[in-house]
Amino acid sequence: MTPTKRILTFWFGFIMLMIASGLGAVSYHLFEEELVSRDAQLLKVINNNMQRIYNSNGQKKILSVLERDRYFLRLSGYSASLWANDGELLFHEGVDLPFSLTETLSDGSLVTRQLIGNQTLVLSLSGKLRYEELASFRNVMLVTLLALWVISILLVAWLNERMLRPIRKLVEHVKTLQRKGLQDKLPLSSSRNSELGQLTLLFNQQMSRIDQLIRSLEDTLNAAAHDLRTPLTRMRLSAEKAMINNDPRVLKESLMDCLEESERMLAMVNSLLDVAAVEQHLDARDRNRANLSDLITEAAQPYEYLAEEKRIRLSFELPEAMNVLASPNRLRQVFANLLDNALKFTPEEGSILVSARQEGDEWRVSVKDSGSGIAASDLPHIFDRLYRGDTSRKTPGFGLGLSLVKAIIEAHDGRIKVESKKGQGTEFNCLLPAA
């Protein structure tokens, strides 16, 4: 038995024992009062009968009735004494009874004293029968309560075993994570609506999320290592070239190459840190009420000149007022990145349309181009850090722009979707809560 199970069983058993003891004591007391009341009622009935006999037949009849019922009184545990007015004892059966008024004798017998005419009748009912009934009741009650207590202990032990089993499985599963890996799911052994079922589902969801984060981290590290290896190799070659050549021009060229490659690596590291900062630190306190239409227009200004140079038609269909709660600088980054990508992959004489409309309590902002499109095999990965498809490898960049876009949109409680077909252009849709 596990410590938790022992503790739960002990405390349940202790509480049940206290409750059973209390119920037993109360039941015993109530039953005793009921028996005393019954005996008192029996004495009252006899006294009333004697009074009726006196009223109907006089005092002599009372004595004859007592003599007639002497054997009955003896067998039933009654004692009776009939006293004359001058103190003479006219009748006696059973134990000696006091003439003075006493309700209960030392042995528990009940005593009544009643004046009938010029005679006094003292009646008593022995407490022996009452005590025997109480003893029998006590024994039955003790056996019953003990049996119920044992059954309840066994039942709670079984319930503890059944209820704690999923938790023990969870503990054992956590112990095996290092050997089996985070992708191994904990089986659902309870109802989904139960607390343990919800705990199991939540545990599996968190494990899946952690597994995804670890895989994403591994992929990011692998991609970063791959992308950093090229500039590091170039820096090494430039340094080796400078070491074997004393020509000042060669030395200067080597230093410039090293500086260029170091700036490239620094830019990639800064981009990675930017994505991480957005994912971890952008909260509601960083947001202000802003007009999304103005933010898009401001972000697009530098790209209007580039579009003219490439003879690409850049058009906008935006409502005048598009209020959102946002970090303005971050949302400018979103639309700047989307426009930058659209211009990179849209050929001359192509078109880019930036439009927006309200859908319920959300703003949908669309950036649609007539460029080369994205291969179906690349679509599931375009938001991964440092991922670059076959087409994008021919253009400058680190594969972090769309990762940053997705992180910023989700930090604003929004969503981003992409639709694209190879050779037919691409459309990005950003959905942001309206303010």
Residue 81's pLDDT is what?
A: 81
Amino acid at 148: L
**Cα separation of 5 and 14, whole Å?**
14
Chain centroid to Cα 147, Å, comes to 36
DSSP state of 252: H
Backbone angles phi, psi at 177, to 5 degrees: -60, -40
pTM of model > 0.85? no
Per-10-residue mean pLDDT of the chain, 435 residues long, equals: 72 84 89 86 84 80 84 81 80 68 59 75 80 89 88 83 75 71 64 71 79 72 70 81 80 83 78 71 70 92 89 91 88 91 90 92 93 85 72 59 86 90 89 89
Measure the N-to-C terminal CA separation of the chain; round to a whole number of Å: 57
The superfamily CATH assigns to domain 285-433 is Histidine kinase-like ATPase, C-terminal domain (3.30.565.10)
Backbone angles phi, psi at 253, to 5 degrees: -65, -40
Could you write out the three-class secondary structure of 254-266? Answer: HHHHHHHHHHHHH
Domain residue extents for the chain? 3-130, 195-281, 285-433
In 3-state terms, what secondary structure has residue 209? helix
In 3-state terms, what secondary structure has residue 360? coil
159-166: Cβ within 8 A, 24+ apart? 160/4, 160/5, 160/8, 160/9, 161/5, 163/196, 164/2, 164/4, 164/5, 165/189, 166/190, 166/196, 166/199, 166/200
Residue 56's pLDDT is what?
A: 82
In 3-state terms, what secondary structure has residue 414? coil
Residue 285's pLDDT is what?
A: 60
Q: Which CATH number fits domain 195-281: 1.10.10.10, 3.40.190.80, 1.10.3720.10, 1.10.287.130?
A: 1.10.287.130
**Cα separation of 337 and 383, whole Å?**
12
Q: Are 388 and 397 in contact (CB under 8 A)?
A: yes
Cα 188–Cα 190–Cα 194 angle in degrees, nearest 5: 120
* Helix residue spans in 244-327 (DSSP H): 248-281, 292-309
Q: Are 335 and 367 in contact (CB under 8 A)?
A: yes
**Cα separation of 338 and 404, whole Å?**
11
Instruction: Kindly state the tokens that stand for 19.
Output: 């409750």
**Cα separation of 74 and 38, whole Å?**
19
Residue 57's pLDDT is what?
A: 82
Residue 389's pLDDT is what?
A: 63
Closest-CA residue to 334 (of 322, 342, 345) = 342
Q: Go through 326-359 and write b for each residue having 16 or more CB atoms within 10 A of its CB, e for each that does not.
A: bbbebbbbbbbbbbebbbbbbeeebbbbbbbeee
**Cα separation of 19 and 28, whole Å?**
14
